[in-house]
Amino acid sequence: MAMKGQAPSADEIEAMARDALAGLPAEFRAYLGDVVFAVEEYADDETLAALGIDHPLDLSGLYHGRPVGEKSSMDSGAMPDRIFLYRRAILEEWVETGVRLDDLVRHVLVHEVGHHFGLSDDDMHRLEDEA
């Protein structure tokens, strides 16, 4: 973890996300091998505009791709599915809520993984409880 007084780095956030990913049930992990994970400081202006979000601290994670159930063998040449975690927004929420940072990172990751599978919010909560 970060030294006292320093915010966790993107690498530390990514390590927490990878630990959370490893804790997911095997039947989910089996379909995540081609998903690209990235930790960025903020979402870019284009992403925020496309989602109708005014402030970059209002977006802590994003799934970009097609849910598993909508994929086709005809999808050749498509960009890989991607999950972004936005470090500054996660840290802001961490400070505001006081929840453990690894729990918050897991929550954001599970939510974005849920979008990859086309899950409902209830399904995502259940998956998070299992992780």
pLDDT at 55 over 70: yes
pLDDT at 99 over 90: yes
- CA 73 to CA 4: how far, in whole Å? 49
The model carries a pTM of: 0.82
Query: Residue 111's closest CA among 91, 87, 131, 89?
Result: 131
DSSP-assigned letters across all residues of 18-38: HHHHHTS-HHHHTT-TT-EEE
- What is the pLDDT, as a whole number, of residue 85? 97
Q: What is the residue-averaged pLDDT of the chain?
A: 85
Q: What is the pLDDT of residues 25-51, one digit of tens each?
A: 888 888 888 888 999 999 999 999 999
- What is the pLDDT, as a whole number, of residue 3? 47
Locate 7 and state its tokens: 């915010």
Domains assigned to the chain:
10-67+80-130 (3.30.2010.20)
Q: What percent of the chain has pLDDT over 70?
A: 84
